[in-house]
Amino acid sequence: MAVIKAFKGIRPVQDLASKIAALPYDVMNSDEAREMVIGNPHSFLHVDRPEIDLDPSIDIHDPKVYEKARENLDRMITTGEFTQDEKPCLYIYRQIMNGRSQTGIVFCASIDDYMNNIIKKHEFTRADKEEDRINHVDYCDANTGPIFLTYKEDQIASEIIEAWIENESKRKPVYNFVAEDGITHIVWVIDNDIIISELTDLFKEIDYLYIADGHHRSASAVKVGLKRRAENPNYTGEEEFNYFLAVAFPDNDLMVMDYNRVVKDLNGLTKDELIDKLQEKFIVTESTSEEPLKPAKKHTFGMYVEDKWYLLEAKDGIYDPEDPIDSLDVAILQNNVLTPILGIEDVRTSDRIDFIGGIRGLKELEKRVHKDMKIAFSMYATEVHDIMDVADIGEVMPPKSTWFEPKLRSGLFIHQLK
């Protein structure tokens, strides 16, 4: 049973929504963020990446950075760049990318659901990244970017939720703009108490919510909530700090893109020696096309080395088809190629491997091989049900398994903790 809560959203004034809305803080570094805000003082990166307004010599985890985040957020609210809804609302958020749309409900999720595994995870988190967002949420006294959740569409409640979304989205939206990357963002406000109550009850019939993206932000939001509980021992559970900002999409709306790999060397092998080793576990076929090779089905891989593309087809017996993790393509490549042949034991820490999201295109793989890498692997995209299967058994996905597009914009919804 998933608990959702309406909230008094702090939102951009209509004329500034397109200028304020920004990509999530974790898809760019500080230098890139500085470039992105040139000519746009309204960008929410001034809140989510506040170091861009400080001297570059200052450590990005210095308290001054979080103080600047709070200062910038307060200023944007005070100067009228944001407005706050007078009553608790839910919101509909639709994104359209290349003609394909995904539409979800924006609400506050329960930190207890997170701790009780009603909200399921599929990734490990790093303490340093958690600490950064804990400080950011704590200083700002707000959740500034929604956690990307999903739920199984094949439930009766989800069908009714979809019908409500369809009905409410016939009204005039409060925002409708195309961002600089060509993605359309549309938002509707649900302020009708009857509809809010209906949707809240419907989510109680949803068995689980799954984190698609935002594991560090959700873990950090929960820890700030627990910190506030400790500071307020007489809390009732209804206080805003017991909840965090989220948006949930039905799983059939989502698109997971390929997350490809490039490696710096062949671990001392020649190309012919590499192919000989690969043929023990894969059927290896040289491509006759000059175009990059995009795998067309699971358990197949494209490989680019010495200006040629090859198709690798996994042979039977090299993975357990009944094991949700072992049968993942990222696991098959790791267990049969990256570790035993190329000598990469830990993809999290090795400086010999890099990862390229499918949004960059396969030509980017060729570019990197010609520039600073030796070999590239194109992947068949992980499917949403694969993520859910792994989460359902309480396990985690291998590193760099998923790349969701489009990315949720930060700054369109802010949830205050007080």
The arithmetic mean of pLDDT across residues 164-189, rounded, is: 97
% of the chain beyond a pLDDT of 90: 97
Q: What is the DSSP string of 101-145?
A: EEEEEEEEEEHHHHHTTSEE--S---HHHHHHHHHHHHHHTEE-S
411 in the Ramachandran plot: left (φ > 0), alpha (ψ -120 to 50) or beta?
left
Q: What is the pLDDT of residues 142-151, one digit of tens each?
A: 999 999 999 9
**Residues shown for the chain:** 418
Asked whether 42 and 112 are in contact (CB, 8 A), the reply is no
* Helices 127-140 and 215-231, packing angle to 10 deg: 60
**Is 83:11 a contact under the CB 8 Å cutoff?**
yes
- Using the predicted structure, report yes or no on whether residue 100 has a pLDDT greater than 90: yes
Q: Is the pLDDT of residue 9 over 90?
A: yes
Helix (H) or strand (E) holding 389: helix 384-392
pLDDT of residue 235: 97
* Mean pLDDT, range 89-104, rounded to an integer: 97
**Selection from 404, 401, 376, 374 nearest residue 261 by Cα:** 376
Q: What is the pLDDT of residues 22-81, one digit of tens each?
A: 999 998 999 999 999 999 999 999 999 999 999 999 999 999 999 999 999 999 999 999
Whole-number pLDDT of residue 91: 98
- Residue 126 in this model has a pLDDT that exceeds 90: no
Note the pTM of the prediction, 2 decimals.
0.92
Assign domain 259-380 one CATH number from 3.30.1760, 3.40.190, 2.40.240, 2.60.40: 3.30.1760
Give me the mean pLDDT over the 194-207 stretch. Answer: 97
Tell me what pLDDT residue 233 has.
96
pLDDT attached to residue 44: 98
DSSP 410: B
Determine the pLDDT at residue 348: 85
Environment class of residue 125 by beta-carbon count within 10 Å: exposed (0-12), middle (13-18) or buried (19+)? Answer: middle
Residues 372-377, mean pLDDT to the nearest whole number:
98
Q: Whole-number mean pLDDT of the chain?
A: 97
Give the mean model confidence (pLDDT) for residues 260-272: 98
Model confidence at 136, in pLDDT bands (50, 70, 90)?
very high
Residue corresponding to tokens 């990059």: 292
Q: For residue 202, which of 147, 251, 155, 150 has the smallest C-alpha distance?
A: 155
* Torsion (CA) 137, 138, 141, 145 in degrees, nearest 10: 0
Strand spans (E) along 223-333:
243-250, 256-257, 259-263, 282-286, 300-305, 308-314
Q: Hey, how many other C-beta atoms are within 10 angstroms of the C-beta on 280?
A: 11
Mean pLDDT of all residues in 246-250: 98
Indicate whether 218 pLDDT > 90: yes
What are the extents of the domains in the chain? Answer: 4-255+405-416, 259-380
